[in-house]
Amino acid sequence: MNKQQTIGFIGTGVMGRSMAGHLLEAGYTVNVYTRTKVKAATLIDQGAVWCDHPSVVAKQSDVVITIVGYPKDVEEVYLGAEGLLQNGREGATFIDMTTSSPVLAKTLYEAGKERGISVIDAPVSGGDIGAKEARLAIMAGGDKAAFLNALPILEQLGTNVVYQGGAGSGQHTKMSNQIAIAGTMLGASESLAYAKAAGLDPRTVLKSIETGAAGSWTLTNLVPRMIKEDYSPGFFIKHFIKDMKIALDVAEELNVKTPGLALAHKLYEELAENGEADSGTQALIKYYLAK
């Protein structure tokens, strides 16, 4: 592991803050930027170097990691006149860990190639818990050599780091992940609503079903939050809606039928319209329990 590398980190929200913290703990010099500086205060206290603009991060870092909100944010950070690619060092590696568009991932890869910069798309799964515990699943696309060079850094953030193929492959894999989650969230919510309607103790039901054939990360980590009526975001509903919309659009281009995904997207849109956009995805249970 080359601790002499300086790492830039852009986006210190629910997940990014923990991820950047792991890199500091591992001994890396970390340059940070986020739109709201106060969100980086804890990291600055840990020794991170504050930068006033993404261009400064690019100029002062060997590797830059981004995890921002939406594809439009990715475009702004990377492709703007004062963005990363215009200001990055030749030979640098940029790793976008935002869940974004596979098409945009390929665009960034090609733009980086023209400037001698390796761009990897490496979205993650595991939510706030996975980020805090450095147990994220990381799915990467881009040049394999660049991936292997970045692997020691990625292994500070996740325990399941898998190279999926060329540029955009990481994002396509994340879309597969989000499609699976959408269906699982529907099933988990309906299961809990049924148990309550039948007069069962949801906690006792969960003890039985989470270790059987129905067992899943969602049952183990999110259903307990549903039962406690804890809707704090490990992953925002508004961001999940964004992910599902990308997956629906790409699936249509690929001529893949996704009726379950379409239903989940519809229900989450309803929740967002009712003021739940900033709640965690487990707030889906509110749809089923509403009177």
- Report the pLDDT averaged over residues 202-214: 96
Per-residue pLDDT at 81: 84
Sorting pLDDT into bands at 50, 70 and 90, what band is 4? confident
Whether pLDDT at 264 is above 60: yes
Question: Can you give the residue range of the structural domain that contains 139?
Answer: 6-166
Please report, rounded to a whole number, the percentage of residues in the chain having pLDDT higher than 90.
94
Q: Residue 182 falls within a domain, yes or no?
A: yes
CA–CA separation, 105 and 142 (whole Å): 9
- Report the pLDDT averaged over residues 182-206: 97
CA–CA separation, 276 and 279 (whole Å): 5
Q: Residue 110 falls within a domain, yes or no?
A: yes
pLDDT tens digit sequence for 227-256: 999 999 989 999 999 999 999 999 999 999
Per-residue pLDDT at 14: 85
What rounded mean pLDDT belongs to the chain? 96
* Same-domain check for residues 97 and 113: yes
* Same-domain check for residues 105 and 45: yes
Instruction: Detail the DSSP E strand segments found in 154-263.
Output: 158-165
CA–CA separation, 193 and 67 (whole Å): 34
Per-residue pLDDT at 2: 66
- Report the pLDDT averaged over residues 181-208: 97
Q: Residue 1 falls within a domain, yes or no?
A: no
pLDDT tens digit sequence for 37-85: 999 999 999 999 999 999 999 999 999 999 999 999 999 999 988 899 9
Domain end marker among 151, 166, 181: 166
- Report the pLDDT averaged over residues 106-132: 96
Q: Residue 265 falls within a domain, yes or no?
A: yes
Q: Residue 232 falls within a domain, yes or no?
A: yes
* Same-domain check for residues 257 and 278: yes
Q: The domain that contains 256 carries what CATH number?
A: 1.10.1040.10
- Report the pLDDT averaged over residues 78-99: 95
Domain end marker among 142, 166, 190: 166
> Which residue numbers are catalytic?
174
Per-residue pLDDT at 255: 98
Per-residue pLDDT at 63: 98
Whether pLDDT at 176 is above 80: yes
Domain end marker among 113, 144, 166: 166
* Same-domain check for residues 31 and 74: yes
Angle between helices 169-197 and 202-209 (to 10 degrees): 130
* Same-domain check for residues 93 and 187: no
Q: Residue 30 falls within a domain, yes or no?
A: yes
The model carries a pTM of 0.93
Q: Residue 117 falls within a domain, yes or no?
A: yes
* Same-domain check for residues 208 and 109: no
- Report the pLDDT averaged over residues 130-152: 97
Q: The domain that contains 60 carries what CATH number?
A: 3.40.50.720
CA–CA separation, 104 and 168 (whole Å): 8
* Same-domain check for residues 134 and 158: yes
* Same-domain check for residues 158 and 17: yes
* Same-domain check for residues 56 and 160: yes
- Report the pLDDT averaged over residues 200-226: 96
Q: Residue 134 falls within a domain, yes or no?
A: yes
Per-residue pLDDT at 59: 97
* Same-domain check for residues 152 and 204: no
* Same-domain check for residues 135 and 186: no
Per-residue pLDDT at 80: 86
Per-residue pLDDT at 234: 87
Q: How many domains does the chain have?
A: 2
* Same-domain check for residues 226 and 253: yes
Whether the CA torsion 100, 108, 52, 138 is positive or negative: it is: positive
